[in-house]
Chains A and B, each alone.
Chain A
């Protein structure tokens, strides 16, 4: 896989052309939903003429198709937005463009980012970069695969419960889910507002670090953004690392455990103090997540009404049918399940037992993390209980599919930074990632630990 630096100092037009050629020769993976060819060449020529400069001058990238970009469609991999062309750009795209980066296309995802395999895309699943019979992971499956196939050195993704980390692990690339509030979400299709984050997938840790340095910072268009705290760092002294006991049980795939253990041994060899820690409440995280997130989804997806933008059911005879039929046809089954579960847990009579209960349990989970971080600088464990599973393996049973998120949702609920770092392959050649989780705003430290591990 290439690094950002491999593209610097070359003709931007050639960089773009090579990336587009490579993308087109890999269409069987179904990782890309649309190309931004005209705009990409236009911007490349400006870079080559010296009109656009910056730390990413002439470097091609791909954005998950839930980032609004001008000039082409933003579909969120849904029928609802199949022909939607945004009138504005996401702040994240603007910041990358300001540094000279060139968006060449949009990556496939689970529709509205609901899923862990990219099989919920209305435009067909993305195939795993290492084995086309397996899933890409999700929901940022396309973003992970375009990096793994070396089409672009980095891609943008969004992570609400693991949607950057899990596909990064399944495809053998680096994936960064920052502290909640690090990167502006303005212009990104909203899913669950209290856990939605924007992050990056790349071939190297260093490149993720550079892109995070560019993306981080306050944006008055997203009132949840934090003042910029991200400064790249290096490891200068041994750290205290906790191995999450609950993530290393016999239920976890043996190759995943082996690779995680090898990564841990390498950390010890570097002089870090690594000890087992227990977080007993982690077993409730997935249940909390699948109450809180559907509740927020049901509210955020209320805007898709077939009135202001997106597809309207043409045979709707009155306003109520405009809503009902447009929504039924614009959403995939997983969208409907989440919206209906959200309606259920928020409805009168169930609110206290489900939604309020989950938000209280979330407090307990956060307290448990805080307590552990009094003694440890970071936590380590697998990203997912298995390597990439087969296409269709989990589609019949939504709960089975949700279990693929069991190790990634805890950091999301607590707003913690968490990254996925490649840690080798299974005997069948499937990539395995390890996850590093830290206290809020320790993003740069986690990346420094990962760089230390690469060296």
Chain B
């Protein structure tokens, strides 16, 4: 049975770019432990020598012409969606 510690939750939150509120941590810890406990049953299934399936279309290498297509969307239209934009660029607070 996999146990998940508070430290594990914080590590997973960091990997997931989630800055969790203190009040969320314990309930997430219990939930994640429960979910991992359920999916662990897969370990009893023998998958030796089996190829993994990543997609189910049977399609392979769907090519298109190497030409620019803006899908009818202009720069201004896309910039207007950003929470903050300036001088034709998206703006964010300082990185460090």
Q: A residues bordering B, Cβ < 8 Å?
A: 84, 87-88, 180-181, 194, 220-221, 223-224, 226, 281, 284, 286-288, 290-291, 298, 302, 305-312, 316-319, 321-325, 327-328, 331, 333, 336-337, 339-345, 347, 353-354, 356-364, 366, 397-399, 402, 414-415, 440
Which residue of the partner chain, among B20, B47, B77, B90, contacts A307 with CB atoms under 8 Å?
B90
Q: B residues bordering A, Cβ < 8 Å?
A: 9, 12-13, 15-21, 24, 27-28, 31-32, 34-43, 45, 47, 50-57, 59, 62, 64, 71-73, 77-78, 81-84, 90, 92-96
Q: Let me know if A318 and B42 touch, CB within 8 A.
A: no
CA–CA, A161 and B71, complex, Å: 30
CA–CA, A414 and B57, complex, Å: 10
Contacts of B17 in A (CB 8 A): 302, 305, 323-324, 327
| Min CB–CB distance A402 → chain B (angstroms) | 7
CA–CA, A256 and B84, complex, Å: 52
Q: List 27 A-B contacts (CB under 8 A).
A: A87-B77, A88-B71, A194-B54, A223-B64, A226-B59, A284-B41, A287-B39, A287-B41, A290-B35, A307-B82, A308-B78, A308-B81, A318-B93, A318-B94, A319-B94, A323-B17, A328-B24, A340-B13, A344-B12, A354-B42, A360-B52, A361-B47, A361-B50, A363-B50, A364-B45, A364-B47, A366-B53
Q: Let me know if A181 and B92 touch, CB within 8 A.
A: no
Contacts of A226 in B (CB 8 A): 57, 59
Contacts of A361 in B (CB 8 A): 42, 45, 47, 50
Secondary structure call for the B interface: loop
Contacts of B41 in A (CB 8 A): 284, 287
| Min CB–CB distance A225 → chain B (angstroms) | 9
Contacts of B16 in A (CB 8 A): 298, 327, 336, 339-340, 342-343
Known contacts A88-B72, A321-B93; 17 additional CB pairs below 8 A are A226-B57, A284-B42, A305-B17, A306-B83, A307-B82, A309-B82, A319-B92, A324-B19, A328-B18, A340-B12, A347-B15, A359-B54, A360-B47, A361-B50, A398-B31, A399-B34, A440-B56
Secondary structure call for the A interface: helix
Contacts of A344 in B (CB 8 A): 12, 32, 36
Which residue of the partner chain, among B20, B78, B95, B96, contacts A87 with CB atoms under 8 Å?
B78
Chain A, residue nearest B62 (CB): A223
| Min CB–CB distance A303 → chain B (angstroms) | 11
| Min CB–CB distance B74 → chain A (angstroms) | 9
Q: Most A CB atoms within 10 A — which of B13, B35, B41, B62?
A: B35
Contacts of B92 in A (CB 8 A): 307, 319, 322
Contacts of B84 in A (CB 8 A): 312
| Min CB–CB distance B8 → chain A (angstroms) | 8
CA–CA, A337 and B38, complex, Å: 14
Q: Let me know if A321 and B19 touch, CB within 8 A.
A: yes
Given contacts A194-B56, A358-B42, A362-B53, contact A337 B32 (CB under 8 A): yes
CA–CA, A84 and B47, complex, Å: 44
Contacts of B53 in A (CB 8 A): 359-360, 362-363, 366
Chain A, residue nearest B46 (CB): A364
Chain B, residue nearest A343 (CB): B15
CA–CA, A322 and B92, complex, Å: 8
Given contacts A220-B64, A340-B32, A398-B34, contact A84 B12 (CB under 8 A): no
Given contacts A87-B81, A180-B56, A363-B53, contact A324 B93 (CB under 8 A): no
